Amino acid sequence: MNFKQKLSAAVLKLNRFMQGRYGIDEISYCLLAISFILMIISRFDKLWFFYFPALVPLVLSIIRALSKNITARISEREKFLKAAEPIKAFIKLQRNKIRDRKTHKYFKCKKCNSVLRVPIGKGKIAITCPKCGNKFNKKT
Ligand SMILES: [Zn+2]
């Protein structure tokens, strides 16, 4: 048996082992990222003790991946994605603010909290919120 055959046999074995198990999802990636960050922190001289808490998310993600209780893992994933929504929205807004920094300014409607984007360099203008109709003056 050459190397290629050995490798494909190992892949087949792994596939058989993972059958009926949950595998990897967004939570796993998040846990692995946390673990990775803690491991990097633990590389600093006086912060070596971060190595042990770094193992916790790593072990958790492995346990989740090997779990056979798929319905429980799916409901965990749904809760996780729902909880991550505002964080994702915040990151997207910050990215857009950086992208549009030369052309647009962002304001928050004080009544309904929606974010409004207006072009820069128009002087003092009256802004009407398209969602709730609230009017306010801002300098752009
Ligand atoms: Zn509004």
Claim to verify: residue 116 and residue 137 sit in the same structural domain: yes
> Can you tell me the distance from the alpha carbon of 66 to that of 25, in angstroms, rounded to the nearest whole number?
12
Handedness of CA 113, 118, 123, 128 (dihedral sign): negative
Predicted local distance difference test score (pLDDT) of residue 45:
86
Residues 6+ apart with CB under 8 A from 129: 109, 111, 112, 114, 116, 135, 136
Residue 122 belongs to what domain range? Answer: 100-140
User: If you measure from the C-alpha of residue 107 to the centroid of ligand 1, how many angstroms do you get, rounded to a whole number?
Assistant: 10
Claim to verify: residue 27 and residue 73 sit in the same structural domain: yes
Q: Is the pTM of this model over 0.75?
A: no
Domain assignment present for residue 93? The answer is no
Domain assignment present for residue 60? The answer is yes
User: If you measure from the C-alpha of residue 112 to the centroid of ligand 1, how many angstroms do you get, rounded to a whole number?
Assistant: 4
Domain assignment present for residue 95? The answer is no
Claim to verify: residue 31 and residue 79 sit in the same structural domain: yes
User: If you measure from the C-alpha of residue 68 to the centroid of ligand 1, how many angstroms do you get, rounded to a whole number?
Assistant: 47
Ligand 1 ion local residues (Cβ < 5 A): 109, 111-112, 129, 131-132, 134
Predicted local distance difference test score (pLDDT) of residue 73:
96
Claim to verify: residue 84 and residue 61 sit in the same structural domain: yes
Q: Consecutive 10-residue runs of the chain (140 residues): their mean pLDDT?
A: 93 94 95 96 91 95 96 96 94 96 94 93 92 91
Predicted local distance difference test score (pLDDT) of residue 71:
96
Claim to verify: residue 48 and residue 104 sit in the same structural domain: no
Domain assignment present for residue 15? The answer is no
Predicted local distance difference test score (pLDDT) of residue 118:
93
Q: For the chain, what is the domain count?
A: 2
Predicted local distance difference test score (pLDDT) of residue 140:
84
Predicted local distance difference test score (pLDDT) of residue 57:
96
User: If you measure from the C-alpha of residue 83 to the centroid of ligand 1, how many angstroms do you get, rounded to a whole number?
Assistant: 24
Paired sense of beta strands 135-139 and 124-128, if any: antiparallel
